[in-house]
């Protein structure tokens, strides 16, 4: 599964916290999108400068390398909240009720621990680069800002995992088929129906103009 899943809401503290946190994740995702846009603009200027004036942007490769961290990590928590990361749910998709939520709770706890380890390692990597004044090879850009993005983004992801652990634990305790603040597993038919509805709605708006 890789498509955006449904996340239900209600008036509970969990759901309100989820919505508040989702606004921050959406902002970071937007920042990642802006990084992509700026990188495309930089590439365009670099190509035009090389073609028209035989003068490409100095340190272009260095800027691209630094931008990769922003592009790759700023949207990671947003994607987790939306259930957009690629996963194999052939077996999990056959489970229902408490068995399903317990499985999701277990796997989310494992990923939470793995993320904490990655935060620790990436922070040490950032601190080492900051301490020694590490820089890029061409124009000597400091590398620590890009390396700092990684533990920061992973910390946001860890907080998202903590919220989902709360949601799955609540679902295990209460049972039911529609827990809040967690992405619901959808069948291929449901995903296809949502995509068709989205496309048909877009076409309908165009035809109405």
For the stretch 153-186, pLDDT in tens is 999 999 999 999 999 999 999 887 789 999 987 7
Distance between CA atoms of residues 67 and 54, nearest Å: 24
The pLDDT, as a whole number, for residue 74 is: 96
Inside any domain, residue 7:
no
Q: What is the mean pLDDT of residues 143-148?
A: 96
**pLDDT > 90: what percent of the chain?**
70
Average pLDDT of every residue of the chain? 89
Please state the length of the chain: 209
Token pair of 29 as six digits: 């995702």
Inside any domain, residue 207:
no
Inside any domain, residue 139:
yes
Which band of pLDDT confidence, cut at 50, 70 and 90, is reported for residue 202? low
The pLDDT, as a whole number, for residue 129 is: 97
The pLDDT, as a whole number, for residue 92 is: 82
Which band of pLDDT confidence, cut at 50, 70 and 90, is reported for residue 201? low
Q: What is the mean pLDDT of residues 108-123?
A: 98
| Burial (CB count <10 Å: 0-12, 13-18, 19+), residue 150 | buried
Say how many domains are in the chain: 1
Distance between CA atoms of residues 201 and 196, nearest Å: 8
Give strand pairing partners of 202.
Answer: none
pLDDT for residue 95 is more than 70: yes
0.85 cut: is pTM over it? yes
Range of the domain at 57: 13-191
Calculate the dihedral angle through the C-alpha atoms of 34, 9, 109, 24, rounding to the nearest 10 degrees.
30
For the beta carbon of residue 189, count every other beta carbon within 10 angstroms.
Answer: 8
Q: What is the mean pLDDT of residues 176-204?
A: 74
Inside any domain, residue 41:
yes
Distance between CA atoms of residues 74 and 58, nearest Å: 26
Residue of 188 and 184 predicted with greater confidence = 184
The pLDDT, as a whole number, for residue 193 is: 75
Inside any domain, residue 205:
no
Cβ–Cβ under 8 Å, residues 160 and 181: no
The pLDDT, as a whole number, for residue 24 is: 95
Inside any domain, residue 97:
yes
Inside any domain, residue 33:
yes
Helical segments of 54-96, H only: 60-73, 76-81
Inside any domain, residue 181:
yes
Which band of pLDDT confidence, cut at 50, 70 and 90, is reported for residue 85? confident
């Amino acid at each position: 599964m890789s498509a955006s899943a449904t996340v239900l809401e209600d008036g509970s503290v969990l759901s309100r916290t989820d919505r508040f946190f989702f606004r921050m994740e959406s902002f970071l995702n937007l920042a990642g999108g802006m990084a992509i846009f700026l990188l495309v603009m930089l590439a365009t200027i670099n190509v035009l400068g090389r073609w028209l004036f035989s003068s490409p942007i100095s340190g272009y490769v260095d800027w691209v390398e630094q931008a990769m961290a922003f592009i790759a990590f700023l949207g990671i928590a947003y994607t987790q909240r939306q259930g957009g990361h690629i996963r194999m749910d052939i077996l999990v998709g056959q489970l229902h009720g408490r068995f399903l939520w317990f499985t999701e709770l277990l796997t989310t706890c494992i990923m939470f621990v793995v993320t904490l380890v990655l935060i620790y390692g990436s922070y040490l990597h950032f601190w080492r680069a900051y301490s020694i004044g590490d820089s890029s090879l061409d124009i000597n850009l400091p590398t620590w800002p890009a390396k700092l993005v990684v533990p920061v983004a992973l910390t946001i992801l860890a907080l998202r995992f903590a919220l989902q652990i709360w949601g799955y634990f609540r679902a295990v305790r209460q049972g039911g088929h529609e827990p809040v603040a967690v992405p619901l597993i959808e069948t291929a038919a449901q995903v296809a129906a949502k995509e068709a509805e989205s496309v048909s709605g877009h076409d309908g708006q165009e035809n109405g103009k």
